[in-house]
C-alpha cells in the first residue's frame, strides 16, 4: 500500500494554493513525506441538497491528494444534521427529519462525486456509531470540555453577548463532529475557515483519547458573484454544480473583475505563472478582463458539463448579453396563464423569479423588460399590469426570457 503513495514534487501546490491555513503545516508536510496513505476526513451536513463552487475549493484539494494515493473518508452527518450547526449564522437552525436528511444526502453525494473519485472514497454514516450512543456515552463525551471553551467560538460568543438563544443541542454539534474523527482515526480533517473551531475540537479530543491529533486543513472562503459576501445559496450569489450550462456560464461572466484571479487559483489547474501574467496584464490594462473571464467561465462550465455545452453557453452569452439579441430558444407560457397578472406575480408564475422578493428586487433594479413583436422594448416597474400579446417576450435580468404564446 505504501508504495502506491506518491510524494508530491511541489509541496506548495498542495499546501499553499487554494489553502487558508493548516494546523500544523509542518506536521502535515512531514506526514506527506513519509509516503504512507493518509486518512483524509471530510464531513458534510446534509441540511441542504446543493453544492456550489464554494464547496468545490475543498473538494479539489481532496482530489489532488486522492491522486497521490491518499484515502478520502466522507462522513455523512445524518445525525448532526438533525441538530443543526450555526457556524457563523446568527440564529439556531431548524432540526430536520431523518427522511429529509437522507434525501439531501443522496443529492449531495451525486454532486460530490463530480469532483472527488467515488472509487477511492470510503463513505461512512454517523448513525453507524451514534445510533448506539447511550446517555452515559453523551455525558462522558461532554465531560471532556467546558461551556467556557465553547463560548470562545465566534458565533456562540456573538450570540451570547447579544442575549440571543443558543440551544444546548448546538453545543453538542462540535463534540459529535470531533467524535467522528476519533471513530475513523482521521489523520487530516478538511473544512472552511468557519469550521476551524470544530476541527480543533476534533484534534483535541483525539489527543485526549490516545490518538495522534489530526491536522486541520482549512480552505479559503470563496466570495460569491456579488463580489462582497461568501458564496451562499441563501444570498443568491452562488453558482451551483447542477445548473444548466447557460446559467453557469452567465453567472461566472457576472463576476467582478477583481475576483477573476482568485477563481482561477481556487477552481482551476491553470499554472500559477499564467495567473500571475493575467494579474499583471489587467493591472497594466494591456488585456481585456472580459477575455480572461470568458476563459474562466468556459473552463468551469466544461468541467461540470462538457466542452460542447460550454461552447453553446458561450455563444448564447455573446448573442443575448453582449449583442442584446434574444436567444434562439426560450421557455413559453400561454397567454391565458398570465393575462391580467401584475408584473411581479407574472415573473413568479413564469419562473423568471423564484419568489415575490426576487421579483421586487428585479423590478426595483430596472432589470425587467417587455419586448414586443415589432422589436420595441419597454422597462417594467413594480405595480405594472402589462397588456401582453402572443409573440411578446418578457426578459428578467440579463439572461432569463419567456415568450407569450396563444
What gap in Å lies between CA 292 and CA 315, rounded to an integer? Answer: 16
Least confident span in 54-58, 124-128, 323-327, 387-391: 323-327
Residue 94's pLDDT is 59
The DSSP annotation for 228-251 comes to SSB--TTTT---BTTS-HHHHHHH
CATH dotted code for 2-219: 3.40.50.620
Residue 250 pLDDT > 50: yes
Q: What value does the mean pLDDT of the chain take? A: 87
Nearest to 295 by CA among 321, 263, 323, 247: 263
Residue 274 pLDDT > 80: yes
Give the bridge partners for 403, in sequence order: 332, 393
Residue 84's pLDDT is 54
Q: What is the CA radius of gyration of the chain?
A: 24
Nearest to 37 by CA among 1, 89, 75, 73: 1
pLDDT tens digits, 67-81:
999 999 999 888 877
Element containing residue 12 per DSSP (H, E)? helix 11-15
Using 50, 70 and 90 to split pLDDT, how confident is the model at 95?
low
Q: Which residues have CB under 8 Å from 105's CB, separation 6+?
A: 46, 76, 78
Task: Give the residue ranges of DSSP H helices in 185-269.
Answer: 196-208, 245-253, 260-267
Query: Sheet harboring 332-334: ordered strands across?
Result: 332-334, 400-405, 393-396, 368-371, 377-379
Residue 50 pLDDT > 50: yes
Cell numbers at 136, concatenated:
452515559
Residue 3's pLDDT is 45
Cis amide linkage into residue 24, ω under 30° from 0: yes
**Mean pLDDT throughout 94-121?**
86
What gap in Å lies between CA 76 and CA 389, rounded to an integer? Answer: 51
Considering the chain, what percentage of its residues have pLDDT values greater than 90? 46
Residues making up the chain, counted from first to last: 406
**Coil, strand or helix: which one is 213?**
coil
Phi-psi region at 386: left, alpha or beta (left = phi > 0; alpha = psi -120 to 50) = beta
Angle at 98 between CA 95 and CA 102, to 5 degrees: 115
Domain ranges of the chain: 2-219, 245-322, 332-405
Residue 293 pLDDT > 70: yes
Cell numbers at 279, concatenated:
494579474
Cell numbers at 176, concatenated:
459529535
What gap in Å lies between CA 214 and CA 27, rounded to an integer? Answer: 10
Looking at the structure, give the CATH architecture of the domain made up of residues 245-322.
Orthogonal Bundle (1.10)
**Mean pLDDT throughout 141-153?**
83
pLDDT tens digits, 312-365:
999 989 888 887 777 777 888 898 888 888 888 888 888 888 888 888 888 888
**Which class is 332-405 in CATH?**
alpha beta
Cell numbers at 336, concatenated:
391565458
Amino acid at each position: 500500500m505504501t508504495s502506491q503513495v506518491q510524494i508530491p514534487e511541489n509541496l506548495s501546490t498542495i499546501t499553499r494554493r487554494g489553502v487558508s491555513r493548516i494546523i500544523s503545516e509542518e506536521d502535515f508536510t512531514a506526514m506527506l513525506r513519509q509516503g504512507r496513505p493518509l486518512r483524509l476526513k471530510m464531513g458534510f451536513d446534509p441540511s441542504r441538497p446543493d453544492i456550489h463552487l464554494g464547496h468545490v475549493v475543498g473538494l479539489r484539494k481532496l482530489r489532488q491528494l486522492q491522486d497521490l494515493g491518499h484515502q478520502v473518508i466522507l462522513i455523512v452527518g445524518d445525525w448532526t444534521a438533525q441538530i443543526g450547526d450555526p457556524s457563523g449564522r446568527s440564529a439556531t437552525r431548524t432540526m430536520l427529519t431523518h427522511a429529509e436528511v437522507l434525501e439531501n444526502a443522496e443529492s449531495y453525494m451525486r454532486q460530490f462525486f463530480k469532483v472527488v473519485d467515488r472509487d477511492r472514497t470510503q463513505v461512512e454514516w454517523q448513525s453507524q456509531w451514534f445510533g448506539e450512543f447511550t446517555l452515559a456515552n453523551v455525558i462522558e463525551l461532554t465531560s471532556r470540555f467546558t461551556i467556557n471553551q465553547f463560548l470562545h467560538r465566534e458565533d456562540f460568543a456573538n450570540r451570547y453577548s447579544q442575549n440571543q438563544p443558543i440551544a444546548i443541542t448546538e453545543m453538542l454539534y462540535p463534540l459529535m463532529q470531533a467524535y467522528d474523527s476519533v471513530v475513523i482515526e482521521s489523520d487530516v480533517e478538511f473544512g472552511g475557515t468557519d469550521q476551524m473551531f470544530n476541527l480543533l475540537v476534533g484534534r483535541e479530543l483525539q489527543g485526549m483519547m490516545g490518538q495522534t491529533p489530526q491536522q486541520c486543513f482549512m480552505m479559503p472562503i470563496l466570495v460569491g458573484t456579488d463580489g462582497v459576501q461568501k458564496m451562499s445559496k441563501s444570498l443568491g450569489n452562488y453558482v451551483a454544480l447542477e445548473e444548466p450550462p447557460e446559467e453557469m456560464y452567465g453567472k461566472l461572466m457576472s463576476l467582478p473583475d477583481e475576483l477573476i484571479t482568485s477563481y482561477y487559483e481556487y477552481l482551476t489547474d491553470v499554472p500559477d505563472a499564467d495567473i500571475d501574467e493575467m494579474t499583471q496584464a489587467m493591472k497594466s490594462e494591456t488585456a481585456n478582463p472580459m477575455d480572461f473571464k470568458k476563459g474562466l467561465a468556459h473552463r468551469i462550465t466544461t468541467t461540470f458539463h462538457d466542452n460542447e455545452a460550454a461552447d453553446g453557453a458561450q455563444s448564447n452569452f455573446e448573442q443575448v448579453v453582449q449583442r442584446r439579441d434574444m436567444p434562439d430558444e426560450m421557455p413559453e407560457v400561454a397567454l391565458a396563464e398570465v393575462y391580467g397578472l401584475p408584473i411581479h406575480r407574472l415573473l413568479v408564475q413564469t419562473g423568471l423569479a423564484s419568489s415575490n422578493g426576487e421579483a421586487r428586487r428585479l423590478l426595483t433594479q430596472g432589470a425587467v423588460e417587455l419586448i414586443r413583436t415589432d422589436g420595441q422594448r419597454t422597462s417594467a416597474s413594480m405595480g405594472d399590469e402589462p397588456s401582453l400579446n402572443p409573440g411578446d417576450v418578457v426578459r428578467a435580468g440579463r439572461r432569463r426570457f419567456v415568450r407569450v404564446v396563444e
